[in-house]
Structure 1
Amino acid sequence: MRFTATLAHFAQRLLGYPLIGIGLLIIAIAAWHSMAPQELVIASGPEGGYFHTTALRYRALLAERGIKARVLPEENTLLGLVEVNKLDSHVDMAFVAQRADAHTYPNVRSLGVITDEPLFVFRRTQTPRFSRLADIKGMRIALGPRDSGSYQLATEVLRAYGVTEDNAVFHTRGLGESVEALRKGEVDVAFILQPLEQPIVAELATTPGLELVDVIDARATSRVLGAGRNMGVVRIPQGIFDLRRNLPATDLTLPTEAVSVVVKANMDPGVLHHLLEVMQQVHGVSNLDREAGSYPRSVGGQLPLHPIAESFHRAGLPFLYRHLPFAAANGIFQLFLLVLPLTILGPVLSFLGVPSPLWFYKETKYRLWLVELRTMLRMHALHGMLTGRQQRRLTALRQLLDQQALGLERCRQAAKLLPP
């Protein structure tokens, strides 16, 4: 009997501060998880391309914040998106500059658009001059690897002009191989989807024997092919690549494709906030083709925007992340994510008649008190007295019961004052 009463008393003492203990435990676990070394795996494009150089900049800046990033070069950029969508894949982030359907990639979220890449068309000067893409039938054309953004956009544009593999020779080479083939004369025309500030663009635009083509109907092209993707038009200023040599010799018009950063939908919030700040740091400055503050932007992507990215683009870092260390802020944030569903679920369960967790807590506490009191009754019936420890415990229980009774009596008095 004494053992039962002691066990009940011990259990009741353990039950005294359960919510505080559980809350502190969750915060500690979440904070420990946030402070644990994080590795972000980034699927980039081909080496030397914009996706790859951007991923390397991200890696360097994330390292300053204590986050290790690993960059995986990939010629077929669509594969990066596919890997991010896989729940069991180790790839966390990729770049997208091609048609992407949200239903096909349900586990992927966008962090925003970081630039708009022009579709540059370079030709060898030995080939006949043209300004309409319909005139390149019969030529050898470098388009980029299959499943890359460059190949997808270029083939759709050419198809709109009636240029297909039936009346032209398509070469599906990587960026470096396409550039080399154009220089050597192995292809007549090369389509390259890269931002204006990318060094390879200026290098090709100033190479003797090569010429950047003005796509005069780029606006119509972007309108016709823009359904289901985010195309636009950019004007390349005269002389922007070389003022002394006046390259290009005139303003050029080219179609563009929006580039988005995409991540797994369940990425850790702390890492996400770091990544969003790095994106702001890299892309928020002025450049050859943009003013400061133009990027990153929340509109123009094809995949759903991550809720954390949406909040960041609208209001910047949350209060906790601005005023607390990232690890502590992330621990509290993750606790909030755990508690929030309970606050929503609680009223629903109450409406359905399911008792609340607080009811279970109180009911368990009262039953433990009852076990102790019954043990004391048996002891008193057998020996006519209680032990010193039991007497002290009885005094404490009476005080607790008086407090409960006083609270109930006050509630009854307040209820009587209300109209029936």
Structure 2
Amino acid sequence: MKSSNGRKPPRLVARFVAISWRDLAVSFGPILLISVAAIWFAVRLIQPAPPNTLTITTGPQGSSFWNAAQKYKTILARNGITLNVLTSKGSAENLQRLSDPHSKVDVGFVQDGITPGQPINGLMSLGSVAYVPLALFYHGPTVTRLSEFKGQRLAIGAEGSGTRELALALLKANGIEPDGTTKLLPLSGDEAAQALVSGKVDAAFLTGDSAQPPVMYKLTRTPNVQFYNFTQAEAYARRFPYLTQIHIPMGAFDFGKNLPAAPIQMVAPTEELVARDSLHPALSDLLIEAAREVHGKANLLQHAGEFPAPLAHDFPISDDAARYYKSGKSFLYRMLPFWIASLADRLLVVVVPLVVILIPALRLVPSLYAWRVKSRIYRWYGALIAIERGALSETSAEERQSLIERLDTIEESVNGLKMPLAYADQFYVLREHIGFVRTRLTQGRDHPYDAAHSHVAQNESDDAGKPSASPPQTA
């Protein structure tokens, strides 16, 4: 069946759906891509999970720092971390291992004052953990200056030990060089103490375990052996920034026998817990906690809670250690078990950028979705306006027929649209406007508006040619 103008009636094939998944996907797509990019960037920056194994280099087996590392091992095991403890000759070897990236050592005890002068790249300090007092015992009359030992036999510690490095530095400051007349023997610890007692050496430099109060007490009771009093201790501490002046009060070793019989001044470098700069922040916190538990007690040389402390001399304090000393563990590690806190800490790096991006972006999705749907309707209005302008101008019958065919094409396309039901009203408004333009085209000059317009124009033209019926006005 055809209409009166010979045109086949339009067939409505439009599909109405609850939601346009395609438009929703296109609207949400850019936001999804941005979110994926944000996640990828966050994952690239995120800290990996902390390793469950660490290796520490300490000192000779049975030494104080080897024993301290054994306590570290027990403490770290509470959080599922295995600590491998390596023995060494001392601080110098520990530093050598830490400086070698192929040694697979993560952390170690290093005595201040043994570095080659320039900072070593890749190493950082987790803080100082103890004083390493230097005790000097000698035979003969009282000595007040180190320069008086020139030409004698001195036990200055084994190769690779911090004792040797410190003794060489102090002797050099007093004009005693290794190649001079003074015999510098590589004896340390009990071996050096025995050599002193037997008279094989004239003086022995003892640090660390060999200079602990029980050892010093034993040597002070040995006949013809004196404890050297660093009367210039304050000057040494100023000359060598890594040294601290230590005051041993009278009677500190034995109240009953009043040993020492007079106050004694000593100097002591600090021992730092040094790690590679690749150490995971969570493990940094665990190591400092272990150091606080092991080294934080009071003794003859330190007050309770004095160590560990951010007293870095030869190595810079790590950012993670500085943060820990300032504010302690983070909230997650205070409230949750170690491994759960570590996982949550890393997930936050991903979640935070997602929240920052998605919350504002999701608010834009409805607007983008509405714009996508309406754009399929709005794009036909431009074509309708062009056809209507053509209808208003002087056109021939063939030109009007061409405009009608263009309009038919628009109507067929509109009738085949797929639209969400929520926008059905706009669909029908568009069809109504198409019908309005079609009426303008098919009625042509007989359109009521056009006829009225022509009638008014004709009357105005006729009135212009007639004389005015009003009498002339007289003054």
TM-score for both structures, normalised by structure 2: 0.62
What is the match of residue 407 of structure 1? none
What is the match of residue 161 of structure 1? 174
Aligned residue for 2:157, secondary structure, equals: coil
Q: Deviations over 1:68-91 (max 9, x none)?
A: 212111114222123223333311
What is the match of residue 70 of structure 1? 84
Q: 1:148 corresponds to which letter in structure 2? A: S
What is the match of residue 193 of structure 1? 207
Q: 1:218 corresponds to which letter in structure 2? A: A
After TM superposition, give the deviation of residue 44 of structure 1 in Å: 0.7
**Which of 247, 251, 256 is the aligned partner of 1:244?**
256
After TM superposition, give the deviation of residue 253 of structure 1 in Å: 0.6
Please tell me whether the aligned partners of residues 127 and 272 of structure 2 are also in contact (alpha carbons under 8 angstroms): yes
2-structure distance, mates of 1:109, 1:14: 46
1-structure distance, mates of 2:157, 2:422: 80
After TM superposition, give the deviation of residue 258 of structure 1 in Å: 1.9
Answer yes or no: is 1:141 the counterpart of 2:142.
no
Structure 1 residues 216 and 271 mapped into 2: Cα distance closer, same or farther (>3 Å)?
Answer: same
Taking only the aligned residue pairs, the percentage that are identical comes to: 27
After TM superposition, give the deviation of residue 265 of structure 1 in Å: 0.8
Aligned length: 358
**Which of 322, 331, 344 is the aligned partner of 2:334?**
322
Q: Which moved more, 1:263-272 or 1:205-214?
A: 205-214
Answer yes or no: is 1:172 the counterpart of 2:172.
no
What is the match of residue 214 of structure 1? 229
Q: Deviations over 1:112-133 (max 9, x none)?
A: 112222211012x4x3432321
What is the match of residue 3 of structure 1? none
2-structure distance, mates of 1:151, 1:39: 32
Please tell me whether the aligned partners of residues 41 and 92 of structure 1 are also in contact (alpha carbons under 8 angstroms): yes
Structure 1 residues 251 and 163 mapped into 2: Cα distance closer, same or farther (>3 Å)?
Answer: same
After TM superposition, give the deviation of residue 141 of structure 1 in Å: 0.8
Aligned residue for 2:83, secondary structure, equals: strand
Aligned residue for 1:258, secondary structure, equals: strand
Aligned residue for 2:133, secondary structure, equals: strand
Please tell me whether the aligned partners of residues 109 and 263 of structure 1 are also in contact (alpha carbons under 8 angstroms): yes
What is the match of residue 299 of structure 2? 287
What is the match of residue 130 of structure 1? 143
Please tell me whether the aligned partners of residues 131 and 271 of structure 2 are also in contact (alpha carbons under 8 angstroms): yes
After TM superposition, give the deviation of residue 221 of structure 1 in Å: 2.4
Please tell me whether the aligned partners of residues 120 and 194 of structure 1 are also in contact (alpha carbons under 8 angstroms): no
Q: Deviations over 1:24-46 (max 9, x none)?
A: 9x99xx89944xx7222111122
What is the match of residue 353 of structure 1? none
Structure 1 residues 242 and 14 mapped into 2: Cα distance closer, same or farther (>3 Å)?
Answer: farther
Q: 1:235 corresponds to which letter in structure 2? A: H
Q: Deviations over 1:326-374 (max 9, x none)?
A: 112222334556799x89xx9xxxxxxxxxxx99xx9xxx9xxx9xxxx
Structure 1 residues 293 and 38 mapped into 2: Cα distance closer, same or farther (>3 Å)?
Answer: same
Aligned residue for 1:327, secondary structure, equals: helix
1-structure distance, mates of 2:172, 2:327: 43
Answer yes or no: is 1:94 the counterpart of 2:94.
no
After TM superposition, give the deviation of residue 214 of structure 1 in Å: 1.1
2-structure distance, mates of 1:50, 1:113: 15
What is the match of residue 58 of structure 1? 72
2-structure distance, mates of 1:179, 1:189: 9
Q: 2:147 corresponds to which letter in structure 1? A: A
After TM superposition, give the deviation of residue 233 of structure 1 in Å: 0.8
Q: 1:52 corresponds to which letter in structure 2? A: W
2-structure distance, mates of 1:255, 1:73: 26
Structure 1: give runs of 5+ residues left out of the alignment.
1-5, 347-357, 371-380, 400-420
Q: 1:107 corresponds to which letter in structure 2? A: G
Please tell me whether the aligned partners of residues 112 and 301 of structure 1 are also in contact (alpha carbons under 8 angstroms): no
Aligned residue for 2:132, secondary structure, equals: strand
After TM superposition, give the deviation of residue 313 of structure 1 in Å: 0.8
Structure 2: give runs of 5+ residues left out of the alignment.
1-20, 373-411, 425-475
After TM superposition, give the deviation of residue 295 of structure 1 in Å: 1.6
Please tell me whether the aligned partners of residues 46 and 175 of structure 1 are also in contact (alpha carbons under 8 angstroms): no
Structure 1 residues 112 and 88 mapped into 2: Cα distance closer, same or farther (>3 Å)?
Answer: same
Structure 1 residues 314 and 397 mapped into 2: Cα distance closer, same or farther (>3 Å)?
Answer: farther
Structure 1 residues 58 and 11 mapped into 2: Cα distance closer, same or farther (>3 Å)?
Answer: farther
Q: Deviations over 1:177-215 (max 9, x none)?
A: 323433433222111122765654444444555432212
Q: 2:61 corresponds to which letter in structure 1? A: E
Aligned residue for 1:266, secondary structure, equals: coil
Q: 2:327 corresponds to which letter in structure 1? A: A
Q: 1:163 corresponds to which letter in structure 2? A: I
After TM superposition, give the deviation of residue 13 of structure 1 in Å: 9.9
Aligned residue for 1:301, secondary structure, equals: coil
Structure 1 residues 22 and 234 mapped into 2: Cα distance closer, same or farther (>3 Å)?
Answer: same
What is the match of residue 108 of structure 1? 123
1-structure distance, mates of 2:171, 2:119: 25
After TM superposition, give the deviation of residue 96 of structure 1 in Å: 1.8
Answer yes or no: is 1:234 the counterpart of 2:249.
no
Q: 1:325 corresponds to which letter in structure 2? A: P
Structure 1 residues 88 and 206 mapped into 2: Cα distance closer, same or farther (>3 Å)?
Answer: same
What is the match of residue 44 of structure 1? 58
Please tell me whether the aligned partners of residues 111 and 162 of structure 2 are also in contact (alpha carbons under 8 angstroms): yes
Structure 1 residues 247 and 323 mapped into 2: Cα distance closer, same or farther (>3 Å)?
Answer: same
Q: Say what the alpha-carbon RMSD is for the aligned residues.
A: 4.4
Aligned residue for 1:60, secondary structure, equals: helix
Q: Deviations over 1:284-321 (max 9, x none)?
A: 22221222222221134321111111011111111111
Please tell me whether the aligned partners of residues 52 and 73 of structure 1 are also in contact (alpha carbons under 8 angstroms): yes
1-structure distance, mates of 2:251, 2:312: 29
Aligned residue for 1:192, secondary structure, equals: strand
Please tell me whether the aligned partners of residues 131 and 301 of structure 2 are also in contact (alpha carbons under 8 angstroms): no
What is the match of residue 433 of structure 2? none
Aligned residue for 1:275, secondary structure, equals: helix
